[in-house]
A and B are shown apart, each in its own frame.
Chain A
Amino acid sequence: MAPAAPGGGWDQTARVMQQVLLSTGLAASVQVTNAPGAAGTIGLARFVNADAGNGNALLVTGLVMVSGIASNATPVTLVDVTPIARLAGEFEVIVVPAGSPYRSLADLIAAFKSDPRGVAWGGGSSGGTDEILVRLLADATGVPRNGVNYVAYSGGGQALAAVLGAHVTAAVSGLGEFAAQLESGELRALAISAPTRIATPGTPPDHGIDRPAGDIGSSIPTFREQGIDVVLMNWRGVVAPPGISIRERQALESLIERMSSSQAWKDALVRNGWTDLGLAGEPFARFIADETRRVAPLVTARDTSSRDWFELAVLTGLALSVATAIRQRVSQRRSTAPRPVTPPMNVVALLLTGAGMTVEAVLLRPAGFVLASAAMFTVTARAFGSRTLLRDAVVGILLAAAVVVAFTRGLGLSLPAGPFG
C-alpha cells in the first residue's frame, strides 16, 4: 500500500518495488493500492485497522509520515506497525541564487542569527523534509523556533522558481531537484545534509549526451564539515501490519533484503536518483524511534497564535450574503409580482436516485464494484421512468464490468472486486 496518490514519491517507491519483485521472480503477484491524504497518516490508519495480522501486506512510509503523525497528533502511529526495512532516499541541499551576497553557509547563518525573519527560506509543503531541515538548522544555531520565516511552496518546482527569481533568500530541497541549475551555475549550493560528501545520484551511463566534467554532488560541503551538526535524509522504507507472526516477519525481511540486493533494484535507484539507505529489522525500528523523538518537537512547536483573519473574513462574507439573499427573497414574497409556477417535485424519483448512490457507497466494499454499480444504475434508471428492470440490470453489469477492465487491467488502479475477486 502506498499512502499517497499515484505519481508521488511513496507511490513511485511502491511501483518500483512491484516492478523489481515481479521482474526478479521474487514474488508471483504484487498489487499496489493507494490511500492518500494527511501526510500518509490516513493510509497508516487504514493499514493498521484493515490489514492487522496480514503477513502479505507492506506499507511505504518515510520521514514525512513521522512528521505528519506528530503535527496532526494522530491516534495511530508508527509504534503500531512492524518495521521491516529502510530502503532509499535523498539528501537535502541549501542553495542560493548565483548573484546572492551569501558566499558560504557561514555568511547565511550569520545573517540568519542577526535577523531571523529577514531570511526567507523556500521549500516544499509545510511539515515536509525541507521545513524540518530549516528548523533543525535554527535549533543548531540557536535561533528561536518561532522566529523562522519558512515559505512553503507546493512541489519542488515552485520553490526552485522562487529562488531562481531571488524571491526567497535561500531554498531547500533534494539534491536531484537542483542538480541541473547547480551544473549550469545559476544556483550555488552552500551545504548538503549528508554525513559525508556524496556523488550526485541518478547519473546513469549517458545516452551520448555530453556532461560537464566533475560531479556536482561531491563538490558540495556537508553541514558537519562546516561545524554544524545536522544530518537529515528524506528516507523511505516499508513496514508490515501489526500482529504478524515472527515467521511472517522474517519472510518479509528476507524478501526485501533479496529485492534490495538485486541488480534490478540498483538500476532503479540510479534511474530515480535515489541514494541507497538500506537498513533492516531492529536497527530500523530504533531509527524510526530516534527520528520521531527528533522531529516531533520541531513540527508541533509552530507558531499558531496569530489570528486567522482570512477564515473570519470568508465566514463573515458567507453569513452576510446569505442574509441579504434571504431578505431579498422575503421582500419578493411580500410583493404582489406574479411568481413563476414551479412544477411539483417528483419526490419519489429524487429519493430513489439518492438511495442509488447510498447503495453504491454501502455495497461497494462488501459486494464489489460491479454489483454495487449495477444496483445504482438500475435504481437510477427506474427513477428516470424506465420500466425494464431486467434489461437495465444487464446493461448496468456490462457497463460496470467494462469500467473495471479499463481501470484495473489497463491502468493498474484497483477497484473492490467483491465475490468475483
Chain B
Amino acid sequence: MNTFEALADGFHVALTPGHMGWSFVGVLLGTAVGVLPGIGPALTVSLLLPVTFSLEPTAAFIMFAGIYYGAMYGGSTTSILLNTPGESATIVTAIEGHQMAKAGRGGAALATAAIGSFVAGSLATLGLAFLAPPLAKVSLALGPAEYFALILIAFATVTSVLGTSRVRGMVSLMLGLTMGLVGLDPRGGQARLTFGIPYLFDGLDPVIVAVGLFAVGETFFLASRAGHASDEMVPLRGSLWMTRAEWARSWKPWLRGAALGFPLGALPAGGSELPTFLSYGLERRLARYPQEFGRGAIEGVAGPEAANNAAAAGTLVPLLTLGLPTSATAAILLAAFQQYGLRPGPLLFSQAPELVWGVIASLFIGNALLLVLNLPLAGLWIRVLTVPRPLLYGAILVLASVGAYAVHASLLDLVLLGAMGLIGFALRVGDFPVAPVIIGLLLGPMAEQQFVRAVAVASDSFMQAFARPVSATLLAGAVLLMVWPLLTAGMGRMAKRSPAVRRQAE
C-alpha cells in the first residue's frame, strides 16, 4: 500500500461525522485551555487526557490531535494580546505580536498567526506523511556535538540583531545567560547561584521569567508613566483583517518558518524553541523594513508562529516512527498510546495502520478546523484591548500571577514573577532590550548541556567531539555568523573614523 492510498484510507477514517465531531471538540477545548495563562500545550494535553479515556483509540487520538493544535494556538493568542506567553515556544511571538496589538494591528497579528499555523501545520503534516521514516533515520545520526553547533547558530543569528546598541544587547544577553546558570550544573554536581535555596535547584522557569519581564515589567513601566498619556493602546487601526501589504509580508515567513520548524522539530533534541528563535533572527535579517522589528513587525509573528506549529508536527515524526518522545507534549502522547496498549515505534505503522493514518489525516482536519474556529474569534479576542487601561492592566497582573502560581502552587513562583517584573522595568527604563535575556536564559543551558554531553560521549576528547564532518561544518558556520558583523563593523569604523560619524552612530 503506498502512502497516497494509506492517507486516503486515513481520511476515510477521520472524515466520519463522529470523528470530525471529536476533532472539533478537541480543538475547542484545546484553545479554551491554551488561552488560560501559564498553561502550555503539554499541561493542557495532560490535564485533558482523562477526557479521552472513555473513547475508542482512534477517536481518542483524533481528539488529542485537536487538543494539541488548539492549545498551541491558544498560547499565541495570550502572547499577542496580553504579552503573557503560556509556554517557551510562543515567547518569541510576544516580542513582535504584542507590539502589533498595541499599534492597533492585533487582528492582523492573530490572523497571521492562525493562517501561518495552518499553512505550516499542513505542510509539516504532509512532510510527516511522506518523509517520516527516512527523516527519522537521518535525525538519529545527529549527536550532541551537532546540536551544540545548531544552538550556536541560533545564538549567532539572534544576537547579531540585538537592537539599537550592541553593548546594551550584550548586557541583556549576559544577564539571561547568568539567569540560566541558576540551578545544578549539567554534570549534576554543583549547585550554581542557588544560595542554598532548594527552590532554585531546578533553575528558573523560563515561562515565568518571560511573563515577568514582558507583562509585569511593562505594567510597572506604564504605571510609572501613568498620567502622561504617551503610550496609548490602540485597539484597532485600519482593517480588522490583514491588509494586502501584510499578506505580502507574511507568506514568505510562513514558508520559511515551516521549512525551519518541521525538520528541527523532528530532531530528537530539536524542540520547538530553537526554530522560533532561528525564524525570528532570519526574518529580521531578510526583512525589507528591519527598523520595524521591535515595534511590531508582522514577519516576526508570521515566521515564529509557522515555525512552532511545524515543529509540533515534526515532533510526531520520531514519536510515530521510532517511539521517541522528544517534547513534553510528545511524552504525554506516548503515555496516552500506552494507555491503549499501543507502543509507538517502528512496528506501529504495520500494527495499527488505520489508527496511525487516521491520526495523520485528523491533523489536517484539526488544522483546518482551527482556522475556521479562530479567524472569526480573532475579532472577538481583540475586543479585550478595548477594556479601559486600569482594568486591563489589573487583569493582566491577575492572570500573570494565577499562571505563575497555579501550576506549581508555590509562592516563590509569585516572588520570581514580581522580581522579574522589577528587572524588566529596570531594563526598560535603562533602554536595554528585553528579548536577549530570554534568549540567553533558554539557549544558554541548552548549549552548555549539549557541549558537556558531546565531550562526555567522545570520552572527554574535545577534538573527537567536534571534528565530525557535520558538527565541524555547522560550527564553522556559527563562528562565521558571529564574526561577520564584527568584521564588517570593524572595517566600516576604520574606513570612516571621524568623530561626527561616530557620534551619529551612537
**Residues of A that sit less than 8 Å from B by CB:** 5-7, 12, 19, 33-38, 41-42, 45, 71-72, 74, 117-118, 120, 125-127, 131, 149-158, 160-162, 164-165, 167-168, 176, 179-181, 183-184, 186, 202-207, 209-212, 271-273, 302-304, 308, 310-311, 314-315, 317-318, 321-322, 324-325, 328, 332, 335, 337, 343, 345-347, 349-350, 352-354, 356-358, 360-361, 364-365, 369, 373, 376-378, 380-386, 392, 395-396, 399-400, 403, 406-407, 410-415
- Expressed in whole angstroms, the minimum distance between the Cβ of B171 and any Cβ of chain A is 5
- Expressed in whole angstroms, the minimum distance between the Cβ of B499 and any Cβ of chain A is 10
B370 at the interface (CB under 8 A from A): no
B152 at the interface (CB under 8 A from A): no
When A156-B325, A161-B268 are in contact, do A38 and B341 touch as well, CB less than 8 Å? no
Chain A CB within 10 Å — which of B344, B405, B415 has the most? B405
Q: Which of B169-221 contact A (CB under 8 A)?
A: 170-171, 173-175, 177-178, 180-181, 184-190, 192-193, 198-199, 201-202, 216, 219-220
B323 at the interface (CB under 8 A from A): yes
Chain A contacts for B343, CB-based, 8 A: 179-180, 183
The docked-state distance in angstroms from the alpha carbon of A45 to that of B197 is: 12
When A380-B219, A413-B407 are in contact, do A385 and B503 touch as well, CB less than 8 Å? no
Q: Which of B95-129 contact A (CB under 8 A)?
A: none
In the bound complex, do residue A357 and residue B142 qualify as a contact, i.e. CB atoms below 8 Å apart?
Answer: no
6 new A-B contacts at CB < 8 Å, known A384-B223, A395-B391: A37-B408, A72-B198, A272-B335, A303-B189, A325-B171, A343-B228
Partner of A346, one of B224, B345, B346, B425: B224
In the bound complex, do residue B167 and residue A321 qualify as a contact, i.e. CB atoms below 8 Å apart?
Answer: yes
Q: A203: nearest residue on chain B (CB-CB)?
A: B341
B328 at the interface (CB under 8 A from A): yes
In the bound complex, do residue B199 and residue A42 qualify as a contact, i.e. CB atoms below 8 Å apart?
Answer: yes
When A161-B326, A164-B140 are in contact, do A407 and B402 touch as well, CB less than 8 Å? yes
B33 at the interface (CB under 8 A from A): yes
The docked-state distance in angstroms from the alpha carbon of A317 to that of B223 is: 33
Chain A contacts for B405, CB-based, 8 A: 364, 415
In the bound complex, do residue B174 and residue A412 qualify as a contact, i.e. CB atoms below 8 Å apart?
Answer: no
The docked-state distance in angstroms from the alpha carbon of A160 to that of B425 is: 43
Chain A contacts for B188, CB-based, 8 A: 71, 125-127, 131, 152, 302
**Residues of B that sit less than 8 Å from A by CB:** 33, 36, 39, 42-43, 46-47, 50, 56-57, 139-144, 165, 167-168, 170-171, 173-175, 177-178, 180-181, 184-190, 192-193, 198-199, 201-202, 216, 219-220, 222-228, 230, 268-269, 318, 322-326, 328, 330-332, 334-335, 338-348, 351-352, 388-391, 393-395, 397-399, 401-402, 405-411, 414-415, 417-418, 421-422, 425, 444, 448-449, 453, 456-457, 459-460, 503, 506
In the bound complex, do residue A35 and residue B409 qualify as a contact, i.e. CB atoms below 8 Å apart?
Answer: yes
| 7 pairs, CB–CB < 8 Å, chain A vs chain B | A34-B407, A151-B453, A152-B186, A209-B342, A311-B192, A346-B223, A411-B47
Q: B141: nearest residue on chain A (CB-CB)?
A: A165
Chain A contacts for B393, CB-based, 8 A: 380-381, 384
Partner of B167, one of A328, A364, A377: A328
Partner of A176, one of B225, B324, B338, B417: B338
Chain B contacts for A347, CB-based, 8 A: 224
Q: B174: nearest residue on chain A (CB-CB)?
A: A318
- Expressed in whole angstroms, the minimum distance between the Cβ of A206 and any Cβ of chain B is 6
The docked-state distance in angstroms from the alpha carbon of A412 to that of B453 is: 38
The docked-state distance in angstroms from the alpha carbon of A310 to that of B401 is: 33
Chain B contacts for A310, CB-based, 8 A: 181, 185, 448
- Expressed in whole angstroms, the minimum distance between the Cβ of A174 and any Cβ of chain B is 12
In the bound complex, do residue B228 and residue A346 qualify as a contact, i.e. CB atoms below 8 Å apart?
Answer: yes
Partner of B323, one of A181, A273, A302, A411: A181
Partner of B189, one of A302, A373, A411: A302
The docked-state distance in angstroms from the alpha carbon of A198 to that of B189 is: 34
In the bound complex, do residue A403 and residue B338 qualify as a contact, i.e. CB atoms below 8 Å apart?
Answer: no
- Expressed in whole angstroms, the minimum distance between the Cβ of A415 and any Cβ of chain B is 6
In the bound complex, do residue B220 and residue A184 qualify as a contact, i.e. CB atoms below 8 Å apart?
Answer: no
